[in-house]
Homo-oligomer: A and B are copies of this chain.
Amino acid sequence: MRSVSIHCTSCGKAHKLDEAIFRCDLCNEPLEIEEISNGRINKGNILTQTIWERYEDFYPFLDKNNRFTLGEGFTPLIEMKDLAYSIGISGLYMKNETQNPTWSFKDRGTAVGIMDAKRLGYKRIGTVSTGNMATSVAAYGAAAGMETFVFVSKDISEEKINPIAMYNPHLIKVEGNYGELYFESLKIGKENNIYFINSDVPMRVEGSKTIAYEICEQLNFQMPDYVIVPTSAGGNIRGIEKGFREFKSCGLIDNVPKIICAQSLGCSPIYNAYYNNSDAITRVEKPHTIAHAIENPYPPSGNQVLRLLKNNGGIATAVTDEEILKAQALMAKEGILGQPASSVPLAAIIKLKEEGFLKGNEKVVCIVTGSGLKYTASFAMHQLYSAECELNELSDYIKENY
Contact = CB atoms under 8 A, between A and B. Distances in A.
Contacts of A329: 166, 168
A96 B69 CA distance: 13
Contact of A388 (B143, B147, B154, B387): B154
Interface in A133-186: 139-140, 142-145, 147, 149, 151-152, 154, 158-159, 161-163, 165-168, 170-177, 180-181, 184
B402 A187 contact: no
Contacts of A380: 158, 162
A336 to B, nearest CB: 7
A379 interface: yes
A168 B165 CA distance: 32
Interface stretch (A11-19, A214-222, A252-260): A214-222
Contacts of A149: 398, 402
B167 A391 contact: no
Contacts of A76: 69-71, 101
B70 A78 contact: yes
A320 interface: no
Contacts of A175: 388-391
A268 to B, nearest CB: 26
A86 interface: no
A96 B74 contact: no
Given A76-B70, A103-B103, A336-B70, A395 B48 contact: no
Contacts of A170: 387, 402
Interface string A352-374: 00000000000000000001111
Given A162-B384, A336-B70, A394 B184 contact: yes
Nearest to A170: B402
B395 A187 contact: yes
A65 interface: no
A175 B391 CA distance: 6
Contact of A379 (B163, B184, B373): B163
Interface string A315-343: 00000000000001100111111000000
Nearest to A334: B143
B45 A217 contact: yes
A391 B172 contact: no
B142 A333 contact: yes
A191 interface: yes
Given A71-B78, A192-B395, A218-B47, A387 B335 contact: no
A118 to B, nearest CB: 15
A261 to B, nearest CB: 26
Contacts of A391: 174-177, 180-181, 184
23 contacts: A46-B74, A48-B218, A70-B78, A71-B75, A71-B96, A139-B336, A152-B386, A161-B386, A162-B380, A163-B379, A165-B379, A165-B382, A166-B379, A167-B333, A167-B335, A168-B332, A172-B397, A173-B387, A174-B390, A175-B389, A175-B390, A184-B394, A191-B399
Given A82-B145, A176-B391, 12 more contacts: A47-B214, A47-B217, A48-B218, A71-B76, A71-B99, A98-B101, A101-B336, A139-B336, A142-B334, A143-B334, A192-B399, A373-B374
